[in-house]
Each structure stands twice: as structure tokens, then as C-alpha cells.
Structure 1
Amino acid sequence: MKPKFCSTIAAVIIALLSLNQLAAAQSADDKAAEDKGLAISTERKARDKGWGSSESDIQMILRDAQGEENVRSIRTKALEMEGDGDKSLTIFEQPADVKGTAFLTFSHINEPDEQWLYLPAIKRVKRISSNNKDGAFMSSEFAYEDMSSFELGKYKFTYLRDETLNGQDCFVVQSVPTDKFSGYAKIVSWIDKQEYRVLKSEFYDRRRDQLLKTMTMSEYKQYLGKYWRPLQLDVVNHLTGKSTRLVINDIKFNTGLDDNDFNKNSLKRAR
């Protein structure tokens, strides 16, 4: 074998080994980022356990691209479930065209969520199909899937970087939905390092693979000496120019709610 030919083979072998080493290093880095993303998200979830039940009064402000507003009054009820996702009930009180509308969600960890919408105009309970979870909730910039509780089993997490947001040190974590019917390709969230509160989330559309909307959460208040809740949520749709603001006026915990307050049969009687 000629020396020149041998040196060529050696160079190819060295190059292949280098590529394998780079791939292995990249794989290790990816695994570390996934582990850290999951650890951050697990801590986020752990810090919000044990609140039991809650009720709140909310203003929903819808704004179109021209800035015209439509204001709604809402009441919500929520029940924490052991070993599964939470249950929630949303009741519209004003204005007249939506009064009496009620929305029930049974969130799950590893199964599709169950959701029902009661429409008083036709006195009918409509089940929201799992393949329609990306639909707009009551003409707002929230999707039906946004109305479910945050559960670790619904996502694959990746830590992206550290970043400062509004003077607060944050983890930036990417969440990729595991549900094939999700409307999102990914969600990128800024989570403050001190209290593990989500300050901002960017939602990327699955079909267009581009930034769809941004949600910012502000005016955080601590309840029961442990649980943080934002008193204002703003969602801006970057494709339509529309936005939705939620202003939480009051939250009460340990309100004595149980399973009987969250079932399909009670939707029509929701008050």
C-alpha cells in the first residue's frame, strides 16, 4: 500500500472519529438540557401543590386590531385533583349575549382533556372535540387547550438559556406538546429563578411554524403564604393584531368545593 494512500485512509478515519465524538458530545448536551428543563418544570409544578380549591372573579377584555373593546364578567371555580389534572368551571355573567354560558374542563396528565361548553341560547351542552383544542375559547385569544391545568406529562421540556426579563433572573424553557392535536409546535417560557413563576410565554403555531402569540403574566400576589397567582394576563396574537386581557379581581382558596360542583349535569345550573 502506498504511503500517500495510507495517509488518506488515516485522515478519513480521524475525521469520522471526530464526527462521532462531536455527535456524542452534542447528544450529551441535548440530554443535559432536557434533564434541566424537566427539573425546572417539576419544581414549578411542585411549588403549586396543595391549594385544594379556589374561586375567582375575572374581567375578560377583548380587543380587536382597531382597539375596540368588548368587556365580559366571569367567575371561575377550580378543584385540585390528586394523581390527575385539575378540574375547572368558568361561568360568564355579563354581558347579556354570553350570560349563563359555562365551560367545564377535566384536565388529565397522560390522557386527552375533557371539555364541555353549555350554550344557554340553545340550552345545549356541547363537547369540545380533542382535535379542536386549538380553537378560540369564546372568541378570545385563549385556545381551549390553554384552559387546562399545567401538567408535566403533556410536554417534553428543554432548558434553553438564562435570561433577565424586567429585571428578574429567569430560566428560559421550551415545552413541546406531546399531544398530536395541540395547536402549538412549541411554547417558550420565562420562569423566574426565585419563585418559579411564569412571567412570559411565546406560543408557536404548529401549522405555520411561526410565533403565534405572546402571553405576559404580571401583578403577582401570594396567597396562603405559598401560592403565587398573576392578577393580570395579557395575550397578544401577532398574526391578527387582536388581544385579550384577564384582570383577576379576587381569589379565594379553600372554598369547600368538591366533585359534585364539577360535572356535566351541573353545567346548566351553573350560577
Structure 2
Amino acid sequence: METPGNNRAEHDAAASFDPLRPRLIRVAYRMLGSVADAEDMVQEAFIRWMRADRAAVLEPEAFLRRTVTRLCLDHLKSARHSRETYLGPWLPDPVVEEEEEPEDVTLPLMLALERLSPLERAAFLLHDVFGLPFEEVALTIERDATACRQLATRARAHVREARSRFQVDRVRGLELAQAFFTASRTGDMKTLGAMLAADVSLHSDGGGKRHAALSPVIGFENVFTLHRNLSALFEKHGSTLVRTVLINGLPGFVTREADGELQTTALDITDGKVSAIYVVRNPDKLRHLH
């Protein structure tokens, strides 16, 4: 049975925790690439915060960031097998950006982070993205500062290309996303073809639960042919635009497809051309958008 003392303790813990929750979710999501898993890690951190001697914690945000990061590191170890056995391409859960502020970790960068070890990923995100000094990174991942610098250096070498790519501005990007949606759904292949880069690639994540290509579609001819075939299906069964929006830092759109499920499409734009297309169809990854 709950007592007034227990209720008071939970209220006090929530009062100090809740203002930090959005920032902790950002850390966890960038570590894991899953909205649901990020929320689970942050909720577990809250449970530990309730049990902690909070009066002895001088910097609650640093304490909680360390807790969330360590929980994520443990989770990544157990999640590695499921990623390796995932059916078809794996893409992070799509996060729709409501604010005007540009995303600090774009979808291509998140995919590059997948190739890092959990410790490299943590060191890079905490130092290069969230701006923490290496001394704080060292306390968080329980390694010395020198080792953390080496981890971050190795990580940078792997993600440099993904991070340095030119990003189109928000307004122009959403205009291109709208044009891409219209051309792909109406079968305007001339317009669509003019938008695609020669080395364009398409990555679709159905997770084995909805139809999707089981491997990336590479090159102009293959991507163009796929969309030409899909346009006939769109004409027959329909595809409704919900909104154009930035998805993980990339211009894109959310649609409701013929099966009634949502779908997100994010476009990587390089030199005015679509260089990569990321389509998430796995319903498990789209629940939070409802």
C-alpha cells in the first residue's frame, strides 16, 4: 500500500526529473535509434532516481545522463543480435521534427553510428554532439579521459563523410519533398527522374511485417524502375499525404498507404539531387507517430 511518504518522495523525484526528461530522451534515442527503447531507458533511470539519495547528488543532470548512457550501453550489447538478424535493411525510428532548429544528428549520421562499437558511439555523442568535456565522458562510460579521446577519434574517422555532407535548407528541402511525393504518386517519371542522382540509393525498412525491399536498391536505373512500377500500384490503390516535414534532419513526408498504415520517406539531398531515399514501413517503428 502506498503511503503519503511514498507519494511525497515520488512527487519530489518527478519534480526534479521531468524537466530533464526531453534531454535524456535525446541522449537515449541517439544511442539506440529506437523511440520506445529510449523511453524505456529513461523510465528505468527515473526509477533509479527515486531510489537514489538525491540530496547527495550535486549535479542531477550529469548523474542522470550517466545513468541513461550506461543503461543504453547495456541495452546495445543485448540488442546487437537482433540487429544482426533483422529482416532487410534496418533504419532508426523516424523522428518528426516540429521545431525550426536543425537536427544535430541526421539520419545518415545515425546509420554511420551503427557501425561503431557502443563505447565509440557513446564517446562521440557525448563529446562531439552534446559538447561534454572528456573528463565527464570518462566518468560516464567508466574509462579514462585518454581512452575516451581515442574512442572519439576513431568514431570521427568512421562518421566524417556522413556528418560533413551538405544539407539543403528547410524550406527548399520541403519543397523538394512535396515535388518528389507528387511525381512518385502520379507517375510523372520525367520529373522524378530529373530529381534523382546517378548514384541514388533506396533503403526500405519493413521489418518483415510489411512489403519492402530486402536489400538496398542501388543506382539510378534500379531506383527509377522501382518507382515506375510502384506508381502503377499508387494509381490503383492510392497513397495519401499526411504532411511534408523534416524526418531525422532530412526533408521528407509522412503518408498513409493503401493498407491503412503510416509510412515515412526521408530524402538525402546532395547538390540539389536526391542521393538517398529512406522509407520506414515497419509498423513497430511508426507507432509513436500516431
TM over 0.5: no
Structure with higher helix content: 2
Query: Looking at CA atoms only, which structure, 1 or 2, has the larger radius of gyration?
Result: 1
Structure with higher strand content: 1
Q: Tell me the TM-score normalised to structure 2 length.
A: 0.26
